[in-house]
Amino acid sequence: MNAWLIGATVLVLGLVPCAVVMLRGSVVEALVGLQMAGVLQTIVLLLLAEGFHRPPFFDLALVLALLALAGGLVFARMLERWV
Amino acid sequence: MSAASIVEVVLIGFGVAVELACCVGVLVMEDAYDKLHYLGPAAIVGPFAIAVAVVVREALSQAGIKALLTAALLIVASPVLSHATARALYIRQRDHVESTSRRPG
């Protein structure tokens, strides 16, 4: 186990506060928690790709960052208008 | 342990520490506006530190460029998302105030 994998494992623990915010907060606070979780997961994928020496896995982090942006914008627009 | 390895470990530790601190900030703050402030460092400082650590190890290879690209995407996306979320919250609060002030009575 190298420093990259240890960092990824520690960062996964950061999802717990995000989950607490999503479960206990208002809908907008839940959106903030979701965005934070998206950033965390992107970094975890970066660390795992480097930790396992698999350069193609960096594509997963890149795609997740892109999809988190799109998903966050859609949720924000939806909260603004309908929910 | 080479100097590059030490720099990698320091950058990884710094990035992870920033992310965890921002997670605690999102959890502890009471208002959604306050929570939004902690998305900034989490999406800018942390990914940049991790991407630089990847570049220190892999140089500007395929992995290094993809890591930098991912960090750049997060850095660009974070202000956009924060603005959209704050705008949604503001509009929801404004509509709530207007609907309660229009209530007869």
Mean of the per-residue pLDDT values of chain B: 90
Radius of gyration, CA atoms only, chain B: 19
Q: Report the distance separating Cα A75 and Cα A82, nearest Å.
A: 10
Read off the amino acid at residue B35. K
A27 compared with B95, residue with greater pLDDT: A27
Residues B38-59 have a mean pLDDT of 93
Tokens of B17: 């520490």
Mean of the per-residue pLDDT values of chain A: 92
Residues A25-47 have a mean pLDDT of 93
Per-residue confidence (pLDDT) for residue A16, from 0 to 100: 94
Test B23 with A14 for CB contact under 8 angstroms. Answer: yes
Read off the amino acid at residue A40. L
Phi, psi at B87, each rounded to 5°: -65, -45
Test B73 with A43 for CB contact under 8 angstroms. Answer: no
Tens of pLDDT, residues B53-99: 999 998 888 899 999 999 999 999 999 999 999 999 999 888 777 77
Tokens of A80: 């603004």
Q: Which region among A42-46, A79-83, B91-95 has the lowest average model confidence (pLDDT)? A: A79-83
Judging contacts by C-beta atoms under 8 Å, the chain A residues touching residue B92 are 28, 79-80
Sequence-separated (6 or more) residues with CB below 8 Å from residue A4? A47, A48, A50, A51, B12
Please tell me whether the interface predicted TM-score (ipTM) of this complex is above 0.90. Answer: no
Closest CA to A73 of A34, A20, A46, A37: A34
Model confidence at B2, pLDDT cuts 50, 70, 90, reads confident
Residue located via tokens 């502890």:
B28
Test A43 with B46 for CB contact under 8 angstroms. Answer: yes
Q: Report the distance separating Cα B7 and Cα B3, nearest Å.
A: 6
Test B23 with A36 for CB contact under 8 angstroms. Answer: yes
Instruction: Give the number of A-B residue pairs with CB atoms closer than 8 Å.
Output: 141
Read off the amino acid at residue A32. V
Please check whether residue B30 is in contact with residue B68, taking contact to mean a CB–CB distance below 8 angstroms: no
Percentage of chain B exceeding pLDDT 90: 70
Model confidence at B38, pLDDT cuts 50, 70, 90, reads very high
Per-residue confidence (pLDDT) for residue B4, from 0 to 100: 87
Mutate: best of B35, B62, B68, B75, partner A, most A CBs <10 A: B35
Our CA-based measurement puts residue B101 at a distance from the nearest CA of chain A, in whole angstroms, of 20
The chain B residue lying nearest A13, using CA atoms, is: B20
pLDDT at B6 over 60: yes
Our CA-based measurement puts residue B44 at a distance from the nearest CA of chain A, in whole angstroms, of 10
Alpha helices in B1-105, H assignment, sequence order: 3-28, 32-37, 39-58, 62-101
Test A3 with B73 for CB contact under 8 angstroms. Answer: no
Model confidence at B105, pLDDT cuts 50, 70, 90, reads low
Look at the alpha carbons of B88, B94, B99, B100 in this order and tell me if their dihedral is positive or negative. positive
